[in-house]
Amino acid sequence: MASHRRPKQPSRARVTVLTTAAAAAVAFSSQAANAAPSEKPSKDEVKAKVDKLYEEAEQATEKYNGAKEKQEKLQKEISTIQDNVARGQEELNELRDSLGLAAASQYRTGSIDPSVQLFLSADPEDYLDKASTLDQLSSQQVEALKKVQEKQRELAQERAEASEKLKDLASTRTELGKKKKEVQGKLSSAQKLLNSLTAAQKAELAAEQNRASRTSERDALDVDVPPGSGRAAAAFAFAQSQLGKPYVYGATGMSSFDCSGLTSRAYAAAGVQIPRTSEAQTGAGTKIYSVSQLKVGDLVFFFNDLHHVGLYAGNGQIIHAPRTGTVVRYESMDTIGGPFMFGVRV
């Protein structure tokens, strides 16, 4: 007779675990189904992030400009030193040759001076230290040996200086590469953000910038503010002639500019050489801390680290090269994005 066994029932603990797991799974599925998709940042949020990246890129740009200027200066100095060393070596060789000819003449007559012989086979520095030999030299030979000694010291100093400058140049080039990479990274990140906008959002941003630029230009031209000097007027006129040209980091014209590239080129056109970077340009003249005392053509500086500069245009407006993606334009000082620090009358 077949036995009928009662099916084994799951334990209460197991039922509880399974039920809890199932409930959690259902809840998770429900949450996942009802969760709103992650929202893309708004146009204004993207603009704020992009503006911040552009500001950081400009900070790096001014450091890049400083490193580039230092590199060019070092290269010129090294070239000058190397030319001096080459000429000095020629002079030294001529001095040695003249002593050698004198020694040869003495040798042919069988009366070579032991002191000259010593010089030709040893260091003149050591030779001149041996006072006992000086009595055996003519005054002309002593003078010639002293010139050799002096020229050797000069060459040693110049070679040491060139060596140090070459080391400095190598580190400057490394710094230049880092800053260039930093700038490019910031600009790339900004471009990715801008690419995330729709065509309509991009058009809105462009329209906003155009309206701001037109308003600033009208405000600047409506007010007659006297220029600080004939040179300031000439610099400002140059900047006006560059309106509409694109911003490119590291550029000093004529097809494109960055902020300090525009101001340095403007004053160069007026016959005044000012430093290349915005921070260095702060020392180009007299500081002016009140906007009401600014005159057309004065340099105006923004942000705590002074990484942005433009030319005052009157009525609280400036002409400047703002950042990547923009052109040389008029703009209100209130919309630069950083505080006005002071002006400089060159």
Starting at the earlier edge strand, list the strands of the sheet with 317-320. 286-288, 340-345, 299-302, 308-314, 317-320, 329-332
Catalytic residue among 259, 311, 318, 336: 259
Catalytic residue among 308, 323, 329, 345: 308
Task: Indicate if 320 belongs to the active site.
Answer: yes
- Reference 217, options 87, 314, 335, 135; nearest CA is 314
Task: Indicate if 4 belongs to the active site.
Answer: no
Catalytic residue among 320, 323, 329, 345: 320
Task: Indicate if 307 belongs to the active site.
Answer: no
Which positions are catalytic? 259, 308, 320
